[in-house]
Amino acid sequence: MESILKWEVNIMAEAKKALPILFIVMFLVMIGFGIIIPVLPFYAEALGASPAELGWLMAVYSLMQLLFAPMWGRVSDRVGRKPVIMIGIFGLALSFFLMGISSSLWMLFVARIVGGFLSAANMPTVMAYAADITSEEDRGKGMGVVGAATGLGFIFGPAVGGVFSNISLNMPFYVAGTSSVLTFFLVFLFLKESLAAEARGRHQAENPPLRRLLSGPLSILFFLQLFISLSLAGLEATFAYYAAEKAGLGAIQLGYIFMIMGLASAIVQGGLVGRLTKKHGEGTVIQAGIIISALGFALILLVDSFLTAAIFLTVFGVGNGVIRPSVSALLTRQSAEGHGSTTGLLSSFDSLGRIIGPPLGGWLFAVMIGLPYLSGIVLSIFAFILYRFYRGQTVKA
């Protein structure tokens, strides 16, 4: 026990150095992931994919994340964070290079399945690492840094991919693979392990099974995250069509709008979440984020120009952006053991929302163009009620 306490004191002292490295790692990981986003549909089409097959190609990656994120989180509790993060980044590099050399559609599917399976290790383990190196009061800051890096990577990655796609359709995959290899060595050389060997043994013996996580009050927070992910995925899948219909916006304008929203969300996550959760607590921030998200959905119904679209979507993005890191911080703070298991299960619920959200949003949009955003308000209300119920359960306990 004494050696574990000494390790924890040392790793807390290293947190100021580790968080910037963790930020760079996640930024580069998401840059690599984002690079292939604009080119993958055209690349798959060139290999003979139908629209339905393209949909499956996109969905199979999220499906693998859904299935295997909890497993990788538990593995990181047993063997340490660093090796599992390296496995996840290696999986990304491998999948990118496999996609780059693909000459038929089945090869592309294999690459996506392999990438989804191995890279499912990244997000839950990085969040668990952030939980390891931060105190309970600074947990929100650590999760916010991870969220900000993820958001910024998604902003700049597609732009890089678009540039390299002018050379050839498979060039972005090689660039993404090379970026992942460099990130792998960055982790290997500079990122220190955050979980003491003795703590790994303890996690292996006492790590809470998933059924326990899903049976107590904490289970409510997982379903809260599911509702938030559902509403976000539905918006992402339909907003381009909605903005074109309501305000006549094109692809370039929409790119700027999503960039503005992403930057605002990243700034709030990286700069404000930690301060707000430290001052007011994660619960207050979660509730405020849900209310702001619901307001954003309502305002989106009033979009009639580039300016209103940028402002209203940014309102939504700021509200939505503070929820995930605050939920992650609260979950890892409440579960004293098994940060990896907890964040892995959270990532799984997030992936489930991203699988169901796009087709659900598309169906709602076909019924009435404003329905995805009305449903977003309803889902936000449900999420708010869920948090109040969770709060009531914990107070009783």
The pLDDT value recorded for residue 221 is 93
The pLDDT value recorded for residue 338 is 74
The pLDDT value recorded for residue 4 is 52
Please give the chain's pLDDT, 397 residues, in tens: 555 555 555 555 555 678 888 889 999 988 888 888 778 888 888 888 887 788 788 888 889 999 999 999 989 988 889 999 999 999 999 999 999 999 999 999 999 999 999 999 999 999 999 988 888 888 888 899 898 988 888 888 888 888 888 888 889 999 999 999 999 999 999 998 887 776 665 555 455 556 667 777 888 999 999 999 999 999 988 898 899 899 998 877 888 888 899 899 898 888 888 889 989 999 999 999 999 999 999 999 999 999 999 999 999 999 999 999 999 999 988 875 578 888 898 999 999 998 998 889 989 999 999 999 999 999 999 999 999 999 887 755 5
Domain pair 2-206 / 210-396, same fold: yes
The pLDDT value recorded for residue 349 is 93
**Do 66 and 191 meet the contact criterion of CB atoms below 8 Å apart?**
no
The pLDDT value recorded for residue 211 is 66
The pLDDT value recorded for residue 395 is 56
Instruction: Return the structure tokens found at 231.
Output: 């509403």
C-alpha distance from residue 312 to each of 323, 369, 376 (Å): 18, 17, 14
- Phi, psi angles (nearest 5°) of residue 99: -65, -40
| CA separation for the pair 370, 39 (Å, rounded) | 29
The pLDDT value recorded for residue 133 is 87
Domain 210-396 indexed as CATH 1.10.580.10: no
The pLDDT value recorded for residue 311 is 96
129-141 burial, b at 16+ Cβ within 10 Å, e below that, comes to bbbbbbeeebbbb
| CA separation for the pair 244, 254 (Å, rounded) | 9
| CA separation for the pair 208, 241 (Å, rounded) | 44
C-alpha distance from residue 340 to each of 1, 75, 121, 195 (Å): 20, 8, 10, 11
Instruction: Return the structure tokens found at 319.
Output: 């509200």
Sketch the domain layout of the chain as residue ranges. 2-206, 210-396
The pLDDT value recorded for residue 17 is 75
**Do 125 and 72 meet the contact criterion of CB atoms below 8 Å apart?**
yes
The pLDDT value recorded for residue 160 is 84
The pLDDT value recorded for residue 10 is 58
Span between the terminal Cα atoms of the chain, in Å: 28
The pLDDT value recorded for residue 100 is 93
The pLDDT value recorded for residue 14 is 58
The pLDDT value recorded for residue 161 is 83
The pLDDT value recorded for residue 256 is 86
Residue 347's identity, in one-letter code, is: S
| CA separation for the pair 198, 372 (Å, rounded) | 49
The verdict on pTM exceeding 0.75 is yes
**CATH number for the segment(s) 2-206:** 1.20.1250.20
